[in-house]
Amino acid sequence: MSDTALKITDVSVRYRLSREKPKTLQEYLIHRLKGKKTSYEDFWALKDVNLEVGKGETLGIIGSNGAGKSTLLKVVAGVLKPTKGNVSVSGKIAPLIELGAGFDMELTGSENIYLNASILGLSKREIDNKFQAIVDFSELGGFIYSPLKTYSSGMIARLGFSIATEVDPDILIIDEILAVGDEHFKKKSKERISRFREKGVTMLFVSHAMEDVSRLCNSVLWMDRGSPRMCGGPVAITTEYLKAMV
Query: What's the pTM?
Result: 0.82
**Topology (CATH) of 4-245:** Rossmann fold (3.40.50)
Per-residue pLDDT, averaged over 116-144, amounts to 94
Helices and strands of the chain, counted as H and E runs: 8, 9
Query: Percent of the chain at pLDDT above 70?
Result: 88
Is 58 within 8 Å of 5 (Cβ atoms)? Answer: no
DSSP string, 48-112: EEEEEEETT-EEEEE-STTSSHHHHHHHHHTSS--SEEEEEE-S-EEEE-STTTT--TTSBHHHH
Q: How confident is the model at residue 224 (pLDDT cuts 50, 70, 90)?
A: very high
Dump pLDDT digits (tens) for 83-118.
999 999 999 898 887 766 679 999 999 999 999 999
| Whole-number pLDDT of residue 1 | 47
Q: Is the confidence at residue 176, as pLDDT, over 60?
A: yes
Q: CA-to-CA distance for 168 and 126, rounded, in angstroms?
A: 11
Residue 131, Ramachandran bin (φ over 0: left; ψ between -120 and 50: alpha; else beta): alpha
Per-residue pLDDT, averaged over 20-34, amounts to 67
Q: Is the confidence at residue 178, as pLDDT, over 80?
A: no
Q: CA-to-CA distance for 58 and 115, rounded, in angstroms?
A: 28
Q: How confident is the model at residue 188 (pLDDT cuts 50, 70, 90)?
A: confident
Q: CA-to-CA distance for 165 and 221, rounded, in angstroms?
A: 23
Is 196 within 8 Å of 68 (Cβ atoms)? Answer: no
> Domain limits of the chain?
4-245
| Whole-number pLDDT of residue 102 | 77
Q: CA-to-CA distance for 63 and 66, rounded, in angstroms?
A: 8
Is 171 within 8 Å of 196 (Cβ atoms)? Answer: no
